[in-house]
Chain A
Amino acid sequence: MKNVTIAVNGVEHRASVEPRLLLVHFLREVVGLTGTHIGCETSLCGACTVLLDGRAVKSCTVLAVQADGRKVTTVEGLAQGDKLHAIQEGFWEEHGLQCGFCTPGVILCSHDLLSRNPSPSDTEIRESINGNLCRCTGYQHIVNAIRSASRKMNKRVPARAAAAR
């Protein structure tokens, strides 16, 4: 057993874990956050995508011990109180989900995309989520959702910058 300290959505979690414990199981079973889903456990579907120090990773391919001392953001950590994150709003407004199983993973993957590329083209959006499988939507409304989120975020950024000044 190994001791790890992992900050999940800003809260530190200490636990003693088996070295083989996957990060996704740590999040779901140890921390109790089940918004991160398991669709394959073999890094092929993207359902388990979370942010590790701000970058999207498939949490079924990361061991909990590898995340020791690092920061993880899951879908539960995106909204600020009642205020949804712009990407979440995008998915809601553009009907970017049906069964919702792939959704947390796609949302976090696009979070990573938009942090690197605030105004992606549709092609770039499609390329960036090609590791996230969705069986319900045919992806078109997901692309619309991410595009709409990017527009919203770009509008809000100047406002936020002004407020910080």
Chain B
Amino acid sequence: MARNGKPKAAPKNNGKRNGQAAHWVGKKLKRKEDPRLIQGISHYTDDIKLPRMLYCAFARSPHAHAEIRDIHTDKARAVSGVVGVFTSQDTSGIGMVPCAIQMPDLKVPKHPVLATGRVRFVGEPVAVVVAEDIYAARDGAELVEVDYDPLPVVTDMEKALSEDTPFVHDEFRTNRAFTHALKNGDIASAFKKADHVIKQRMLNQRLAPVAMEGRAVVGEYLPGENRLTIWSATQIPHLLRTQLSVMLGLPETAVRVIAPEVGGGFGSKLNVYREEAIVPWLAMKLNRPVKWAETRRENLACTIHGRDTINDVELALKKDGTILGLRVRILADLGAYHQLLTPLIPQLTALMLAGSYKIPAIDIEIQGVFTNKMSTDAYRGAGRPEATYIVERIMDVAAHELGMDSAQFRFKNFPLSKQFPYTTITGLTYDSAKYQESLKKALQLSAYDSLRRRQKSGWKQGKYYGVGVSTYVEICAIGPSAATPAGGWESGTVRIEPTGKVTVLTGASPHGQGEETTFAQLIADQLGIDPDDVNVVHGDTMAVPYGIGTFGSRGTAVGGTAAYMATQKLKAKMATLAAHLLDAKPADITIGRGRLTTKGNKKSISFGELVMAAYTARNIPPGFEPGMEATHFFEPSNFTFPFGAHIASVEVDGETGEVKIDKYVAVDDCGNVLNPLLVDGQIHGGIAQGLGQAMWEELIYNEDGQLVTGSLMDYALPKAHLLPDFTLERTVTPSPVNPMGVKGVGEAGTIASTPCMVNAVCDALSPLGVRHIDMPLKPERVWRAITHAQASRDEHEQAMAGAVAKSSNSKSGRKTAGRRA
């Protein structure tokens, strides 16, 4: 496939690695998982149907905050087909919904699986109805009658921290769940020395991940075997198994979790949800399989949300644009309860606030705030998009303020390639990067200079063209265990079966990323075989050794490395056996395509014969373990830090506020590439999601805590006709953190594209005096910003006219203060 007609850059990873020529790695192999998907014959959780299966539906709170006085279930029970109705009285034996994050002053509220005494957000489940079919279950759920005493609601974070606020959890006497500070360098003197201080408040709105497959759970209990099987649309089958065994009070060995085909996650399925415990509990209680699949309304209201922060940002600068210091105050809306990682996400933002720049001093303070809303948690990028948005927006505001070109401003503040590994002021060590190179490439590819020329001449004709630049670095391959709540390693098992076919078991649990293909490419190269002969198995805790899962762009960099390392063990074993059979030294054995040969090609044995010899085990060296299987648990020594530069060119209609995207260019560096087609796909999808945030998406709760964007009619996802073709390029800077030199690419597009787009639109409107517009940049909002800027300009001009008449000029102050558009 040509990228926009131009041939793609040849991947640079076709060289030899570990003595093995890359035959499959780097190729645009068609995906192995696709035939079943394009024919509709794969199995997502909701496609599973078991004999005697029951269906369930939840009765959920219409109130954002209320006391539950009584629950009447008689009418629901009377519905034909309804088998049972259960409330918190029945489920009180199930453990709390877990939060994996520990922090010194963190307030952790009780989080029961069904609302107990009180509801705290719209959609919190109060009862569950089980029936012979889904229609009866939903009829029953509608007939569950709950007497509520509504309580005062708090949805605004600043109000939640004020004196006269209702408390989401009375027991804490505050809505502040935690404060987190990160300070380094001499921030006071940075601001004292500054020629300019740029201030801006910017909001990062609440988003819904909206995987196209909603959450779904099937539970089946076999009492004879004492085996509870749970199918769930999850990104983390093993972690889920551990948590569910604790919540349900079963030995972990009695629980099997299967993540079958999973229809996208974007972080929303990196969690442990109450329904995932209730459904198997029902299956045990009723001794019949039970299924639940969420409706889209439930998905928008009761699956984790992302982002939702208020950010006050101050940047201290020298005259020439050199950054001296960054101060950021963040309020992070956590919602009513903690889901698995809720309090962690804002901390990731803090870590990444140095962006791709040399920042000598930093001062960050974050407050996590309870409100009467659904929990926020990891949504694609999880804290990094928030950081990148802050950094990249303030860079552009600063460049404009100083009258510098935004690309030049960035060049000035990048660390040099030779400074890597580069330790940031927030304490991270960036593995490898060439920021200059990627921005240069993006400038070239977008014909930046001519975009700027067009912009200038456009302004003269009343046309508002804008160019947005954003350069990002992100944190991937999550991560070293020391920096993660539940282990940051991954497992990989490679087994050559007696017939020579290869099974790879990976603890990573892909859900659209295509690891059945990329891992097959990787392992096929190592063993000199064909990817079609490699079968990658994932998502079943009974088949796969314990693993962590797929999130944080870790699948390939951590999971792939585990499988790769297991293969190295296997290769050593193959060499030992081959040496024994061929009467040579193991060091002199080469594993070629389909054959193992001795030095100088004197003697050889076919792959098949060798493997069979390992299983028949009649002629093996002393101490040699029969079979051909190896497992590796890979613990990464650091994160990886992919980076890149995106440029958007837009035209804004000054009359209507409508934004047209002319061109979108992305230069990304995710290290070495296993399959360029899949990497492009990840970037495309990521950009689309990031543009979704910039342009259209926004979850809105009104003052009463009602979710007013609870359907796909109101929550506007990017659609095909709204998006341009993206032009992609790559630079390749291998990561030293893993032997394959890969970094990860799952979130890059999302991280880079949001600020890029907002920068472009604000840039277009800068001659009108628009400095910043909060997302999403819907026409109405852009139009308001234009009108507001015009009004304040008129006011300003009038005032100036008056002032000039009165006194002599008062030069604009040395320090510029922020004003909001």
On A, residues with C-beta under 8 Å from B are 18, 20-21, 25, 28-29, 32-42, 44-45, 47, 74-76, 78-79, 84, 88, 91-95, 97-104, 107, 122-123, 125-127, 129-130, 132-144
A39's partner among B31, B42, B213, B684 (CB-CB below 8 A) is B213
List, in ascending order, chain B residues with CB within 8 A of A91's CB: 34, 38
Q: With A41-B295, A94-B1, A98-B512 in contact, do A103 and B37 touch (Cβ < 8 Å)?
A: yes
Q: Is the CB of A133 within 8 A of B212?
A: yes
Q: Is the CB of B1 within 8 A of A144?
A: yes
Q: Is the CB of A34 within 8 A of B40?
A: yes
A88's partner among B39, B263, B511 (CB-CB below 8 A) is B39
Q: Is the CB of A35 within 8 A of B264?
A: no
CA–CA, A31 to B214, complex, Å? 22
Known: A40-B712, A99-B212. 11 other contacts (CB 8 A): A29-B49, A39-B214, A42-B296, A88-B38, A98-B514, A100-B34, A100-B512, A125-B720, A130-B720, A136-B212, A138-B726
List, in ascending order, chain B residues with CB within 8 A of A38's CB: 46, 293
Query: Would you give the shortest CB distance from B661 to chain A, in whole angstroms?
Result: 12
B314 interfacial by beta-carbon distance below 8 Å: no
List 19 A-B pairs, Cβ < 8 Å.
A33-B40, A36-B40, A39-B212, A47-B212, A78-B39, A92-B34, A97-B38, A98-B685, A99-B211, A99-B264, A100-B37, A100-B38, A101-B213, A126-B721, A134-B720, A135-B210, A136-B512, A137-B681, A138-B681
- Stretch in B582-590, B618-626, B686-694 with 4+ CB within 8 Å of A: B686-694
CA–CA, A45 to B39, complex, Å? 19
Query: Would you give the shortest CB distance from B548 to chain A, in whole angstroms?
Result: 20
Q: Is the CB of A129 within 8 A of B40?
A: no
CA–CA, A144 to B1, complex, Å? 9
Q: Is the CB of B717 within 8 A of A135?
A: yes
Query: Would you give the shortest CB distance from B42 to chain A, in whole angstroms?
Result: 7
Q: With A42-B712, A129-B720 in contact, do A136 and B38 touch (Cβ < 8 Å)?
A: no
Q: Is the CB of B44 within 8 A of A101?
A: yes
List, in ascending order, chain A residues with CB within 8 A of B684's CB: 137-141
List, in ascending order, chain B residues with CB within 8 A of A122's CB: 725
Q: Is the CB of B262 within 8 A of A99?
A: yes
* Most chain A CB within a 10 A radius of its CB, from B134, B681, B686, B688: B681
On B, residues with C-beta under 8 Å from A are 1, 28, 30-31, 33-35, 37-44, 46-47, 49, 133-135, 210-214, 261-264, 266, 293, 295-296, 511-514, 677-678, 680-682, 684-689, 711-713, 717-723, 725-726, 749
List, in ascending order, chain B residues with CB within 8 A of A18's CB: 135
Query: Would you give the shortest CB distance from B448 to chain A, in whole angstroms?
Result: 22
Top 9 closest pairs, chain A to chain B, by CB: A35-B40, A99-B512, A101-B263, A100-B37, A138-B688, A138-B684, A75-B40, A34-B47, A98-B512
CA–CA, A40 to B213, complex, Å? 9
Q: Is the CB of A142 within 8 A of B720?
A: yes
List, in ascending order, chain B residues with CB within 8 A of A97's CB: 34, 37-38
Q: With A34-B40, A99-B264, A100-B33 in contact, do A136 and B685 touch (Cβ < 8 Å)?
A: yes
Query: Would you give the shortest CB distance from B374 to chain A, in whole angstroms?
Result: 18
Q: With A39-B213, A101-B213 in contact, do A76 and B41 touch (Cβ < 8 Å)?
A: yes
Q: Is the CB of B720 within 8 A of A143?
A: yes
Q: Is the CB of B212 within 8 A of A45?
A: yes
Q: Is the CB of B711 within 8 A of A44?
A: yes
List, in ascending order, chain B residues with CB within 8 A of A130's CB: 719-722
Query: Would you give the shortest CB distance from A113 to chain B, in whole angstroms?
Result: 12
List, in ascending order, chain A residues with CB within 8 A of B31's CB: 92, 95
List, in ascending order, chain A residues with CB within 8 A of B686's CB: 138
List, in ascending order, chain A residues with CB within 8 A of B37's CB: 97, 100, 103
Q: Is the CB of B687 within 8 A of A138?
A: yes
List, in ascending order, chain A residues with CB within 8 A of B261's CB: 99-100
Q: Is the CB of B38 within 8 A of A92?
A: yes
Residue of B nearest to A129 (CB): B720
CA–CA, A107 to B687, complex, Å? 23
Residue of B nearest to A93 (CB): B30
Q: Is the CB of A138 within 8 A of B685?
A: yes
List, in ascending order, chain B residues with CB within 8 A of A76's CB: 39-41
CA–CA, A74 to B47, complex, Å? 15
Q: Is the CB of B720 within 8 A of A74?
A: no
List, in ascending order, chain B residues with CB within 8 A of A127's CB: 720-721
Q: Is the CB of B514 within 8 A of A92?
A: no
Query: Would you give the shortest CB distance from A99 to chain B, in whole angstroms?
Result: 3
Q: Is the CB of B720 within 8 A of A132?
A: yes
CA–CA, A41 to B212, complex, Å? 12
List, in ascending order, chain A residues with CB within 8 A of B262's CB: 99
Q: Is the CB of A84 within 8 A of B39?
A: yes
A133's partner among B38, B687, B717, B721 (CB-CB below 8 A) is B717
CA–CA, A135 to B750, complex, Å? 12
B135's partner among A20, A102, A125, A129 (CB-CB below 8 A) is A20
Q: Is the CB of A102 within 8 A of B212?
A: yes
CA–CA, A137 to B684, complex, Å? 6
CA–CA, A39 to B511, complex, Å? 16
CA–CA, A132 to B720, complex, Å? 8
Q: Is the CB of A79 within 8 A of B39?
A: yes
Residue of B nearest to A79 (CB): B39
Query: Would you give the shortest CB distance from A160 to chain B, in whole angstroms?
Result: 22
* Most chain A CB within a 10 A radius of its CB, from B295, B512, B719, B720: B720
List, in ascending order, chain A residues with CB within 8 A of B49's CB: 29, 32
List, in ascending order, chain A residues with CB within 8 A of B717's CB: 133, 135
CA–CA, A79 to B685, complex, Å? 27
CA–CA, A84 to B36, complex, Å? 11
CA–CA, A71 to B775, complex, Å? 46
Q: Is the CB of A98 within 8 A of B720?
A: no
List, in ascending order, chain B residues with CB within 8 A of A123's CB: 721
CA–CA, A135 to B266, complex, Å? 9
CA–CA, A101 to B40, complex, Å? 9
List, in ascending order, chain A residues with CB within 8 A of B293's CB: 38
Q: Is the CB of A44 within 8 A of B713?
A: yes
Query: Would you give the shortest CB distance from A93 to chain B, in whole angstroms?
Result: 6
List, in ascending order, chain A residues with CB within 8 A of B512's CB: 98-100, 136
Q: With A137-B681, A140-B725 in contact, do A34 and B43 touch (Cβ < 8 Å)?
A: yes
Query: Would you give the shortest CB distance from B699 to chain A, in whole angstroms?
Result: 15
List, in ascending order, chain B residues with CB within 8 A of A135's CB: 210-212, 264, 266, 685, 689, 717
CA–CA, A76 to B39, complex, Å? 5
List, in ascending order, chain B residues with CB within 8 A of A126's CB: 720-721, 723
Q: With A34-B43, A99-B512, A101-B263 in contact, do A141 and B720 touch (Cβ < 8 Å)?
A: no
Q: Is the CB of B688 within 8 A of A139?
A: yes
Query: Would you give the shortest CB distance from B538 to chain A, in whole angstroms?
Result: 14
List, in ascending order, chain A residues with CB within 8 A of B722's CB: 130
Q: Is the CB of A35 within 8 A of B213?
A: no
Residue of A nearest to B726 (CB): A140
List, in ascending order, chain A residues with CB within 8 A of B682's CB: 98
CA–CA, A97 to B685, complex, Å? 10
CA–CA, A45 to B721, complex, Å? 14
Q: Is the CB of B39 within 8 A of A95?
A: no
Query: Would you give the shortest CB distance from A89 to chain B, in whole angstroms?
Result: 8
CA–CA, A133 to B212, complex, Å? 8
Residue of B nearest to A22 (CB): B135
CA–CA, A38 to B293, complex, Å? 10
B513's partner among A36, A42, A98, A101 (CB-CB below 8 A) is A98
CA–CA, A58 to B214, complex, Å? 18
CA–CA, A112 to B34, complex, Å? 22
CA–CA, A98 to B262, complex, Å? 10
CA–CA, A18 to B726, complex, Å? 47
A139's partner among B28, B133, B720 (CB-CB below 8 A) is B720
List, in ascending order, chain B residues with CB within 8 A of A92's CB: 30-31, 34-35, 38
Query: Would you give the shortest CB distance from A114 to chain B, in whole angstroms?
Result: 15
List, in ascending order, chain A residues with CB within 8 A of B295's CB: 40-41
Query: Would you give the shortest CB distance from B531 to chain A, in whole angstroms?
Result: 15
